[in-house]
Amino acid sequence: MEDIHEHIAKIKKLELKAKGLTKHLFSGEYQSAFKGRGMSFSEVRSYQIGDEIRTIDWNVTARYQEPYVKVFQEERELTLMFIVDVSGSQNYGSHLKTKKDIAIELCALLGFSALENKDKIGLLLVSDQVELYLAPNKGKKHLLHLLSKMMTTPPKSQHTKIDEGLKFFHAVAKKRCITFIISDFKDEHEFMEGLRYTGKKHDTIAIDLSDVMEAKMPNLGWLALENAESGAQTWIDTNHTQTRDHFEKFHQHAKEDLKHQFAKMGIDYIPIQTNEDYVRPLISFFKRRG
């Protein structure tokens, strides 16, 4: 187990990387992708050619005998909520990083983007139960505490039940949030209805984490496949081309179905693999939303 100095060093390294990416790649992208809650009155100024008639402040106009208009500004303060799957399958990664590592880095990058815009940030860790909830708050101290909790909170359960987290979120979220659900969505329980409700109430984005080895079966003879959540093992003879093809097609169809269902619900979908750079799909997402 790492000591406190190693943990602090990891947090600092994560902060430097996320802040660097935020400054050089996501400057302005975040703000244009996510809109404020509405328009609020800012000031009154003299009428200018091109101003809409409906913005005229008739009371001020009558008082000063010349036209004045009301100026409105977008209310920018937003609440960013991370709902993160911390079940056993998140510890898998066939390359340098696990799904959990990627999830933490994504929350850091998006969190520092939110910090630049003075938005609130909250966290909900879920397995088949709510593992941790940090209410939305502002500031760098809060964000670093959130990232630290993601690194150090051991889940009580290895199983997945995303809907448990969604039910809790629906109960505590009183205002509309930008909600990132980060998971591999390997859940044997029904969660689409909960997601549909979330998508109606909140600006919802699903980040689907996967690993290249989950979609490809190597030709290694008899191979024991272990379920990271239940520990159950299944022996498969990978010498058979038909077996390998069936395995890959099953995974591909599952991902396509997931993407299709999210699209029907109006939920943005961002697939990210542990062996690939996650910055590109995020930039593409921001540009689509901008």
The answer to whether residues 169 and 228 belong to one domain is yes
H or E element in which residue 124 lies: strand 120-126
The answer to whether residues 162 and 236 belong to one domain is yes
Give the phi and the psi of residue 36 in degrees, each rounded to 5. -75, 180
The answer to whether residues 51 and 153 belong to one domain is no
Query: What is the per-residue pLDDT for 230?
Result: 66
Residue 52: give the domain boundaries. Answer: 39-74
Cβ neighbourhood burial of 272 (10 Å; 0-12, 13-18, 19+): buried
Tokens 């708050």 -> residue: 137
The answer to whether residues 105 and 190 belong to one domain is yes
Total tally of structural domains belonging to the chain: 2
Instruction: Evaluate the CA torsion angle 133, 138, 142, 146 in order and state its sign.
Output: positive
Q: How many residues does the chain have?
A: 290
Global pTM value: 0.79
The answer to whether residues 99 and 151 belong to one domain is yes
Give the model's confidence band at 223: pLDDT under 50 very low, under 70 low, under 90 confident, else very high.
low
The answer to whether residues 274 and 183 belong to one domain is yes
CA of residue 67 relative to chain centroid, distance:
47
Tally of CA atoms within 13 A in the half-sphere of 243 that contains its CB: 13
CA of residue 239 relative to chain centroid, distance:
39
The answer to whether residues 60 and 153 belong to one domain is no
The answer to whether residues 21 and 128 belong to one domain is yes
Give the model's confidence band at 251: pLDDT under 50 very low, under 70 low, under 90 confident, else very high.
confident
The answer to whether residues 46 and 147 belong to one domain is no
The answer to whether residues 198 and 123 belong to one domain is yes
The answer to whether residues 62 and 174 belong to one domain is no
The domain spanning residue 243 has which CATH number?
A: 3.40.50.410
Above pLDDT 70, what percent of the chain?
Answer: 88
Query: What is the per-residue pLDDT for 225?
Result: 66
The answer to whether residues 100 and 138 belong to one domain is yes
Contact 75, 38 (CB under 8 A): yes
Q: Is the pLDDT of residue 228 over 70?
A: no
- pLDDT tens by residue, 77-97: 789 999 999 999 998 877 789
